[in-house]
Structure 1
Amino acid sequence: MYDLLLLGSLVSGDKTGYKLQKIVGSALQPMRKVSSGVLYPSLERLEKEGLVTSMMHEEGRKMKLWHITTKGVNRFIELMKEKIPSDAKRNDMIHFKLRSLDSVTFAEQLDILEEFRLFIEKDLEFYQKAQEDMTEHQTRFPENAERFRILGEAYELDIQIAKTKLSWIKKQIADRK
């Protein structure tokens, strides 16, 4: 999962592991950090695969700089074109791709945005149906009406977030056409 973000971060130039850790951390949801125990093994694997190289750089103090290779750029483009799986990592993958839209063609940007739109439309449909069910359950199960009302309100938040995302996506698509 981190390959996309690490390679995408290096497309714009060489970076230290510390800088990459900050970039990856900022791309994840708040309160989720990337440990050195995840980052450096990922970079070392990418290096073994020939997707990145590293070199020691001495400017004041010693530090290792990571550089993307041509093979790494090609792999990054492949990852950007891959369909996003419908699993627990879906939101992270979407956010990673959105942060790297400038690295692909406009047609590829539109494909990514359209894929995101379809995911959000399905989510919205799910939330709206669940909210309807909660309203119905309030009547059918009066002893738990308050619980179902609160659940319905929580789904309202999900609905509003999905609508906001759809509005943003539609603007991004319109700006690229």
Structure 2
Amino acid sequence: MYDLLLLGSLITGDKTGYKLQKIVGSALQPMRKVSSGVLYPSLEKLELDGMITSTVHEEGRKTKLWHITEKGIDRFTQLMKEKIPSDAKRNDMIHFKLRSLDSVEVSEQIKILEEFQAFIEKDLAFYQESQVEMIGKSERFPENAERFRVIINSYDLDIQLANTKLAWIKKQIENRK
């Protein structure tokens, strides 16, 4: 999963493992961190696959600098074109792609944004339908009205966030046309 973000980060220039860890960490939700035990095996696998290379610099403190290869650039481009899976990693993959939008052609940027839009529209429809269902239940079961009110309000938040995302996506697409 981190291949896309690591390769995308290296497209802009060589980086140390420490810098890559910061970049990957900033692309994830605030409460999720990427440990060295996850990052370095991912980098080593990319290196074994010929996607990146590393050089050791011993000026002062010994550091390893990672560099993307042509094969890595090709793989990055392929990953940016792949459909985003509808699974638990969906949001991370969307964020990873959004962080690297400037590294692909405008037509591909628009495709990614439209794919994101389709996910959010589907989510929005789910939230709206669920909220209507909860309103109906609160009317049928007045003894649980307070519980349903809390759920209805949480769907209201989800709806507002989805609408905000859709407005942002629309603006991004318009700016690219």
Q: Which moved more, 1:57-66 or 1:46-55?
A: 57-66
Q: Does 1:151 align with 2:145?
A: no
1:86 aligns with 2:86: yes
When normalised by structure 2's length, the TM-score is: 0.99
Q: Give the CA deviation at 1:141.
A: 1.2
Show the counterpart of 1:107. 107
Aligned pairs for 1:92-171 (under 5 A) are 92-171=92-171
Residue equivalent to 1:19: 19
Match of residue 74 from structure 1? 74
> Could you tell me how far apart the structure 2 residues matched to 1:107 and 1:58 are?
43
Q: Which structure 2 segments of 5+ residues have no match?
A: none
Counterpart residue type for residue 88 of structure 2:
A
Deviations 1:45-84 (A, max 9, x none): 0000000001101232110000000000000000000000
What is the letter of the counterpart of residue 60 of structure 2? G
Aligned length: 177
Aligned to 1:60: 60
Query: Structure 1 runs of 4+ off > 4 angstroms?
Result: none
CA RMSD after TM alignment: 0.5
Residue in 2 that maps onto 1:32? 32
Code of the residue aligned with 1:157 in structure 2: it is L
Please give the alpha-carbon distance, in whole angstroms, between the structure 2 residues aligned to 1:6 and 1:59. Answer: 24
Aligned residue for 1:66, secondary structure, equals: strand
CA distance in 1, matches of 2:139, 2:164: 30
Amino acid at match of 1:61: R
Cα distance per residue 1:83-130 (max 9 Å; x no partner): 000000000000000000000000000000000000000000000001
